[in-house]
Amino acid sequence: MISMRKVATAATVGTLIEWYDFFVYLPAAALVFNKLFFPQAEPLTGTLLAFGTYATGFLARPLGAIVAGHYGDRVGRKALLIVTLLVMGVSTFLIGLLPTYASVGVAAPIMLLALRIVQGFATGGEWGGAALMVVESAPPEKRNVWGSLITVGILLGLVLASVAFTVVNSAVAEQAFLSWGWRVPFLLSAVLVAVGLYIRLNVGESTEFANASKRGETQKVPLLEALKHPKNILIIFFIRIAENFSFYTFAAFSLTYVSTVLGLPRSLALNAVIVAALVECVTAVLFGMVADRIGSRKVMLFGLAFQVIFAFPFFWLMETKAPGLVMLAIVIGFAMANGAISSVQPDYFARFFGVNFRYSGISIGREGATIIGGGLAPVIATALVASTNASWPVALCMVVTSLIGLAVVLGARKAENTAAVPVATAAART
C-alpha cells in the first residue's frame, strides 16, 4: 500500500528544489551575468551571450535524459531522483562561488558554462522520474490532477528563484547586488537540497514500476525498446517544443524585453513572473481536474490553441508599457496557455510507452525538445528583436511552433495507448 500524499509530496517538493536550482540561473542570466561575465559586450549583446550559457544547460538535458531514463527503467524512479537532486544542488552551489570576469578573465564564463552543463544534465532526468512517480501510483481516474502537482512544483521553484532575486535586489544597493548579492540565491540551494533529500529518501517506489519489477518485466536496455516507437518519441518532441518556446518567452525573454527594450523597471517583470506562476499553480490543478473528466488530449489541444491566439496580443499588451497590462500579459500566458498544456503532460505522455521503458521514451522526447523550445527560445527571441527592432517575429515563432504542436496532437490519436499503460488496483493506491 502506498500513500499518494507521501508520493506527491516527495515528487512535488523535490521538483520544486530541482527547478529552483535550474531557474535561479534565469534572472541571473537576464539581469546580472551579462555585466559580470561578459562586461565588454553591448547591453543587448551581453544579454544574448548570457542567454547563450543559459541555453547550454538545455544542450546537456538529452544526455541526462538518456542516462536517467536507462537506470530509471532498470533500478527504479526513486534512486534516480535522489541522484539528480544531489548533482543539481552541488552545481548550483558552486555557481554561487564563481569568480567573475574582473577577477579571472575568460576563465569565469568558461567555469559558468561548465557548471550550467552539469545543471542541465541533472535536470534532464528529473521531470520524467518525478512525473512517473506520481502517475504510476495515482488512481486511474485521478492521474491528471495528481500529475498536475509536478507543474506546481516547477512553478513554485520558479517563484522561489524569482523571490530570492527580488528580495536580495531590493535589500541591497546596486553595487552590493552586483558584488555579492546575486550569489545568495545560488548558495541557498545547499539548504533546500538537504530538505529535498530527506523527503525523497522516505518514500517508496512507484506502484506500477514496483509491480513490473516483481513480475520480472524490466528491460536490460530500455532505450532500445523506446526507440522501437520513434513516432511516439517525435509526438512528445514536437508537443514539447510548442509548449516550451512560448513558456520561455513568457518566463525568460520577457525579463529582458521589459527591462532592456521597453526601459521599464526590472522589478516589474520579476514581480509579474512571480504572480503569474502563483496563478498557474491554481489553474494547473484546475486543468488537471478538468482533464480527468474530459481527457488530457482535449485540454492539451485547448492550451496549444490558446498559445496561437495569444501570441501577438501578449506583445501588444506589454508594449503599452502600462505596468498593469504588462503583468496581465505574463499572467495570462502562464495561467491559461502553459497551465493547460503542462498540467496534463505527465498522464498524456505516459500513455505512449509501456512501464518498462517509459522513463526512457518520455525523457528522450521531452528533453530533446527543450534544446529548441527552451534553451534557444530566449536566444532566438533576443536575436530577432535585436536585428529587427520589433516583437512580431517572436510572436510569429510562437504561433508557428504552437500550430505544429496542434497538428501533432490531432494526428496522434491512434498512437495513444498503443503501448500498454498498466492499471494498478485501487487497493494499492490509497
Query: With contact defined as beta carbons under 8 Å apart, do 378 and 256 qualify?
Result: yes
The predicted pLDDT at position 47 comes to 63
Q: Does residue 51 register a pLDDT over 80?
A: no
Give pTM, 2 decimals: 0.85
**pLDDT band at residue 23 using 50, 70 and 90 as cut-offs:** confident
Task: Give pLDDT tens digits for 134-173.
Answer: 999 999 899 999 999 999 999 999 889 888 888 888 888 8
Give the pLDDT of residue 207: 87
The DSSP result for 62-83, as a single string, is: HHHHHHHHHHHHHT-HHHHHHH
What grid cell was written down for 117?
552543463
pLDDT number for residue 328: 96
Q: What is the average per-residue pLDDT within 369-374?
A: 82
Q: Sign of torsion, CA 126 131 132 133?
A: positive
Query: For residue 52, what pLDDT is reported?
Result: 66
What pLDDT does 46 receive?
59
How many Å apart are CA 299 and CA 223, to the nearest integer?
Answer: 29
**Which domains occur in the chain, in start order?**
4-201+226-419 (1.20.1250.20)
Listed in sequence order, the residues at least 6 apart from 268 whose beta carbon sits closer than 8 Å to its beta carbon are 258, 259, 323, 326, 327
Section 383-406 average pLDDT: 93
Residue 44: what pLDDT?
Answer: 61
Instruction: Quote the CA–CA distance of 429 and 233 in Å, as a whole number.
Output: 29
> Residue 162: its pLDDT value, please?
80
Q: What sign does the dihedral 108-110-113-117 (CA atoms) show?
A: negative
Q: Which of 50-64, 122-136, 193-207, 362-376 has the lowest average pLDDT? A: 50-64
pLDDT of residue 179: 86
Check whether 421 has a pLDDT greater than 50: no
**pLDDT-wise least confident of 79-93, 129-143, 190-204, 366-380:** 366-380
The grid coordinates of residue 264 equal 521599464
Q: Is 146 helix (H, G, I), strand (E, B) or coil?
A: helix
How far apart, in Å, are the Cα atoms of 349 and each of 94, 128, 233, 366? 34, 10, 9, 9
- The pLDDT score that the predictor gives to residue 26 is 74
- Residue pair 274/163 in contact (Cβ under 8 Å)? The answer is yes
H or E stretch at 211: helix 207-214
Cβ 18 vs Cβ 126: under 8 Å: yes
Q: What is the pLDDT of residue 337?
A: 93
Which residue is associated with the grid cell 567555469? 111
Q: Check if the beta carbon of residue 27 is closer than 8 Å to that of residue 89.
A: no
Express each pLDDT in 99-114 by its tens digit: 988 888 888 888 888 8
CA dist 400 to 27, 238, 254, Å?
27, 11, 19
Contact by Cβ (8 Å): 149, 285 = yes
Residue written as cell 496542434? 406
Mean pLDDT of the chain: 87
Q: Which cell goes with 300?
A: 492539451
Give residue-wise pLDDT tens across range 311-350: 999 999 999 999 999 999 999 999 999 999 999 999 999 9
Instruction: State the first-to-last Cα distance of the chain, in angstroms, to the nearest integer.
Output: 7
**pLDDT for 269:** 84
User: 235 with 365: CB under 8 angstroms?
Assistant: yes
Give the percent of the chain with pLDDT over 90. Answer: 50
Q: Is the pLDDT of residue 28 over 90?
A: no
Per-residue pLDDT, averaged over 347-371, amounts to: 92
Number of H helices, E strands in the chain: 24, 0
Q: Which residue has the higher pLDDT, 195 or 421?
A: 195
Say which residue, 105 or 421, is predicted with more confidence. 105
Give the closest residue to 203 by CA, choosing from 424, 419, 367, 8.
8
Q: Return the minimum-mean-pLDDT range out of 44-48, 163-167, 332-336, 397-401.
A: 44-48
Nearest to 153 by CA among 7, 20, 259: 20
**Alpha carbons within 13 A on the beta-carbon side of 301:** 12
Looking at residue 68, its pLDDT comes to: 93
Residue 129 has pLDDT above 70, yes or no: yes
